[in-house]
Amino acid sequence: MSRLPSARPSPVRPSPLQPSPLQRLALRVADVAAQCSSIKAAGSGMALVLDASNPMDGDPSAQELAAVDAALVCIARYGLAKTTIADVANQARISRATLYRRFPGRENLFQMVLTVEYQRFDAYVRSAVNPAVDLADLLAKGLHAGVGFVASHQALGRVLAHEPDLILPFLALDQGDVVLEAGGQPLRGPLQAYLTAEDAVWVSTWIARIGLTYLLGTEDAKQLSTVEQCRTLIDAFVAPALTDLQS
Amino acid sequence: MTGQLGTTVAVLEATLRCFSVSGIAKTTIDDVAAASGVSRATIYRMFQGGRDELVRDAVTLEIQRFFLRLTSAIDDAVDFASRMESAVHFAHENIQNHRLYQTMLAEEPGVLLPLLTTQSEQVRDMVAGYLAPYLKLEQQAGRTLSGVDLLAASQYVARLTISYIVNPGRDDLMNPDIVRRVVRRQMLGGILTADALSRPGEPGVPPESS
């Protein structure tokens, strides 16, 4: 017997997460959330959104930004699978009708969330490395900013901790390059002050790879919580490998 | 092997056999008991976390064996940098053909991926422990940069090695030029001297043969 999907009953809400959800990642990562098809659509849309050669047409409107920020609050609180357009409308104090008109499906909203958040990541990292006094300084500041942005991202932390199936394919499967390339992208332009465009590509991806390995460890991100810690790592293992490449 | 450890390994091996026969999701403790000849009660006593712990330990054992095969495959490399190049190439090629790994990625990524990503400390310590003696040999031969912290260096190389095995990204690890860059710049550029990175050296003797 098939049943029509019914309106979601309003459940008892879990309490909001503690400030550092990434620390819970390893504990809960095997606790895989049940997926629904629209979530999968949102997941595969992530590759597109994160592809920096696929910029959004125009800047998001104030209302779209309000919806994105409300969605982030809801995702951090309830997770991706349980966040509905209605939740976001309530949180943003926008009428449901208005929100549904702009985002017919949740995947449209989630793609906007990804796009806006990626732009914020990009802007955050770029501003952190400007100014940089030399190549090592640029790499240390970039690594610190990128790791810091992700580690303190509550919505992402919630998804990683409770719905890892939505994220893990981007970390290890055939889509594994997406996160590495997207993570390194903000550094490519700035790096060209010191390196050829070709070298800037693999060096930026290398830094993103290092950052990612620290972000995935339970407590590892703490080892890169200051610029000085990042600088020590860069000075030890990255900068010496680049001395003959600097132009 | 006898005693508790031998029984544990026998159970884990039986678990891996069950995985390849029926898949991971469908393997039950009963299946493992039947395949290993060890009683359910004993299995539950050995793995107090139940099936989850059994699955995790079996997968960890298989990961350790993968690295053991890897280390024996690269024994003839002339020095550490060449050894690492062979290792990256071997690992990349063999992970594609590793049936259990591919089955797990497809069927139960939630079990495997945390071991290689979020819970990778155990695997990383194992790889770093393997690398450290080789780095020590390079240091004794005067082929490391001054002031290199060998412990931090072996952890760093292990970190990148696992990352590359799990996710090569856009780097084509079948291309020797790319592997050369990954190993001689990204992994070892801050550890070995320019001379050690560009010329083969003596300290390629595996420490286990001494």
Q: pLDDT digit string (tens) for A110-121?
A: 888 988 999 999
Residue A101 has pLDDT above 80, yes or no: yes
- At residue B117, the pLDDT reads 65
Which of A18-32, A133-147, B178-192 is the least confident region?
A18-32
Q: What is the pLDDT of residues A168-182, one digit of tens each?
A: 767 766 677 888 999
Report whether pLDDT(A206) > 60.
Answer: yes
What residues of chain B lie within 8 A of the CB of A35, using their CB? none
Measured CA to CA, the distance from residue A198 to residue A126 in angstroms comes to 19
| Domain residue spans of chain B | 1-48, 59-203
Instruction: Identify the CATH assignment for B1-48 out of 3.40.640.10, 3.90.1170.10, 1.10.10.60, 1.10.3720.10.
Output: 1.10.10.60
**pLDDT given at position A31:** 28
Q: Is B169 on the interface with A (CB under 8 A)?
A: yes
Give the model confidence (pLDDT) of B74-122 as tens digits. Answer: 877 788 999 999 999 999 988 878 888 887 777 776 666 666 666 778 7
pLDDT at A216: 80
A with B: how many residue pairs have Cβ under 8 Å apart? 102
Q: Which residue of A has its CA nearest to B172?
A: A177
Q: Quick one: pLDDT band at residue B35, thresholds 50, 70, 90?
A: very high
Least reliable range by pLDDT among A36-40, A242-246, B196-200: A36-40
Among residues B78, B74, B76, the alpha carbon closest in space to that of B88 is found at B74
- pLDDT bracket for residue A51 (50, 70, 90): very low
Please name the residues in contact with A75: beta carbons below 8 A apart, sequence gap of 6 or more.
A83, A113, A155, A158, A159
Per DSSP, the residues of chain A read: ------PPP-PPPPPPPPS-GGGGHHHHTTSPPPP-HHHHHHHHHHHHHH-TTS--SSPPPHHHHHHHHHHHHHHHHH-TTT--HHHHHHHHT--HHHHHHH-SSHHHHHHHHHHHHHHHHHHHHHHHTSS-SSHHHHHHHHHHHHHHHHHT-HHHHHHHHH-GGGTTHHHHSTTHHHHHHHHHHHHHHHHTTTS-HHHHHHHHHHHHHHHHHHHHSTTGGGGGSSHHHHHHHIIIIIGGGTGGG--
% of chain A surpassing 70 pLDDT = 74
Contact between residue A4 and residue A142 where contact means Cβ atoms under 8 Å apart: no
pLDDT for the residue A57? 60
Residue A140: closest CA among A224, A214, A198, A244 = A224
CA distance B3 to chain A (A): 31
- Architecture (CATH level 2) of domain B59-203: Orthogonal Bundle (1.10)
pLDDT of residue B174: 92
The answer to whether the CB atoms of B117 and A181 lie below 8 A apart is: no
What per-residue confidence (pLDDT) applies to B26?
A: 87
Which tokens go with A130?
């400007």
A174 or A49, which is more confident: A174
Rounded mean pLDDT of A210-227? 88
- B121 interface with A at CB cutoff 8 Å: yes
pLDDT over 90 at B161, yes or no: yes
d(C-alpha B165, C-alpha B88), whole Å: 7
Q: B179 pLDDT band (50/70/90 cuts)?
A: very high
User: Touching check for B193 and chain A: CB below 8 Å?
Assistant: no
Residues of B in contact with A181 (CB under 8 A): 169-170
For chain B, give the percent of residues with pLDDT over 70: 89
With a CB cutoff of 8 Å and minimum separation 6, the contacts of A245 are: A195, A196, A199
Asked if the C-beta of A216 comes within 8 angstroms of chain B's C-beta atoms, the answer is yes
Q: Give buried/exposed letters for A117-126 (b at 16+ CB in 10 A, else e).
A: bbbebbeebb
Sketch out chain A's domains with CATH numbers.
21-30+37-241 (1.10.357.10)
Highest mean pLDDT of the ranges A52-61, B74-83, B127-136: B127-136
A210: contact with B, CB 8 A cutoff:
yes
